[in-house]
Every structure is written in C-alpha cells, then in structure tokens.
Amino acid sequence: MTVLVFGGSSQIGHYLLPLLAARDEPVVAVSREARASIPGVTWLSGQLPDAVPAVEHVSAIFSLGPLQACARWLSKAAVLHEPRVVAISSMSAESKRASEVPAERALSQLLRDSEVALAEACAKHGSAWTVLRPTLVYGAGLDKSLTPIARRAMRLRVFPLPMGHGMRQPVHAQDLACAALAALDTSIAAGKILAIGGGERLTAGEMFARVRHSLPIQTLPLPLPPWLLRAARRGVGKLRGPLSRLEADLIADNTEMTRLLGVQPRPFRPDAECWRRRPG
C-alpha cells in the first residue's frame, strides 16, 4: 500500500515526508515541478485537481496544500481501498469570518466550503478523514508571514515593531507534521476538524520582538506608534487586514487535539534557522 502526499514541498511536508519515509509503506509525493526521489519517497510530476498521475493501492492521502483543489480531485478520482485522509486547512476559516476586508471574508468561506467538500468526497469513497486547522505556521523558512518580515529586517538592518496586544499562538511546522501523522493512526480523530496552535500564547508585539531577537544579526528596533498604524490601515489597502487584527486574538484551543492525538506543541522560541529556507 502507498501513502500519497500533496503539498510535500511545503513547510509541513519538509518535516512530514521524513517521518513517513521511516515507516513501512512507500510514499509518493506529487509536485508541479520534477524533483529527485529520495529513499522512501518517490516524487511524481502532477498538479491538482486535473493533472494528478495515477497511483495504485493508496492507503492514505495527505493534503498539505490548497484544500479546495484536493477536494475537487478526490470527488472525481477512482480511489480504491478507502484511504485514510488527513488534510490541512487554516484557523483563518474562523478568524477571518468577520473580517472588515471582503477578500478575507471570502477566504474564510472558501476554507469552510472546502472542508465540507472534502468530507463529502471522503464519504463517497468510504474514507475516514481528519482536518487540522493550524494558527500561524513557521519553522522552515517557507511561510509567508513571519519569514518575509525576518528576511526584510536582516536585509535593511531595521525591524519595525507594531505594538499589537492581540494574542498570537504560532505553531511550528514540525509539530503540525507530528499531529498530521498522529491523525493518520488515530481512529477516534476521524470526522473531526481540530484546531492546533503553538504551546504558548503571547501578544502580537511580543511575537515580533522574539522574531527580532532570533535573528543572527543586529537590527535597529523601530517601534510603530498606534497613530501611524491607524494611518497605514486607512491609506494602504493591503495592510488593512493585517493591521486590523493586531488587537484581535488569533489563537486555538488545543484541548481536543491534544486529547485525541497526544501532541503537545512547543512554545514560541524561534531561532535563526526558522527563517532559513529549507529545500522542499
């Protein structure tokens, strides 16, 4: 039997693929670009939802990329053996539900619709499924939130520090990979949408301060006063959503995830390696 992985080149895939390769089943990872296979993992070229190569005897499917595309493919695929499905969604499904930015509300709805579509596609095949909704993910230098901030600060030697009081709960990609693997082996997690955040809650301002202290070079701290943030929120369209959430709590309750999967995510203690891009 074979484990099929979509999104293996993602930051979660960076940590999940070695864990899967250490097990007995062969692993097939599908990527848009050709990649060299490694021991225990075969890479195939393909793309969701309409250009996925045929893979026989699939026992499990991991969706680490866009959930909508995976759900569309699964709804039409000729999948046998009722494979176990573990998929990554996002806490944005809830945290952006009432955003003042229309595009963010649309993203929230898309995520929730995609979760429903995945569940319906799994029901068609008789497959058990689990969806993980992580908070802000970091750890492999591939995220689009904290890593760009860290790299820009290293390049400019200046680190802007917005003083947001909303709570944050960053989750390391390796902990998320461990949770995904645990979901594969945990039957009582079937049919569940599980929130997962890091092992520590801290203010947005403290989160940015810790990113700054983790950098391998000295940067000049540049506190951003509230009046400047309000002006940027009104005048710079692409900043409207992120700045509006600085005072909002973006956290997850790990209680059910830990009870079912036994995973205890680490506190937010980043180091310089978190911002170095890892090979996908």
Structural domain count, the chain: 1
Predicted confidence band of residue 165 (pLDDT cuts 50, 70, 90): confident
Examine residue 81 and state whether it is found in any structural domain, yes or no: yes
Examine residue 124 and state whether it is found in any structural domain, yes or no: yes
Cα angle: 236, vertex 240, 246; to 5 degrees: 130
Q: Region 57-80: what's the mean pLDDT?
A: 94
pLDDT tens digits along 18-58: 999 999 889 999 998 878 888 899 999 999 999 999 999 99
190 is in which domain, residue-wise?
Answer: 2-275
Tokens of 129: 């499924």
Predicted confidence band of residue 113 (pLDDT cuts 50, 70, 90): very high
- Averaged pLDDT of the chain: 92
Examine residue 199 and state whether it is found in any structural domain, yes or no: yes
pTM over 0.75: yes
| Of 118, 114, 94, nearest in space to 104 by CA | 94
Asked whether the beta carbons of 15 and 177 are under 8 A apart, the reply is yes
pLDDT tens digits along 216-251: 999 999 998 877 777 766 666 666 667 777 888 999
Cα 29 to Cα 22, 52, 141, distances in angstroms: 15, 11, 20
- The CATH number linked to 256 is 3.40.50.720
**Which pLDDT score is estimated for 61?**
98
Place of tokens 């950098």: 215
**Which pLDDT score is estimated for 248?**
86
**Which pLDDT score is estimated for 240?**
67
**Which pLDDT score is estimated for 229?**
73
Examine residue 280 and state whether it is found in any structural domain, yes or no: no
Examine residue 149 and state whether it is found in any structural domain, yes or no: yes
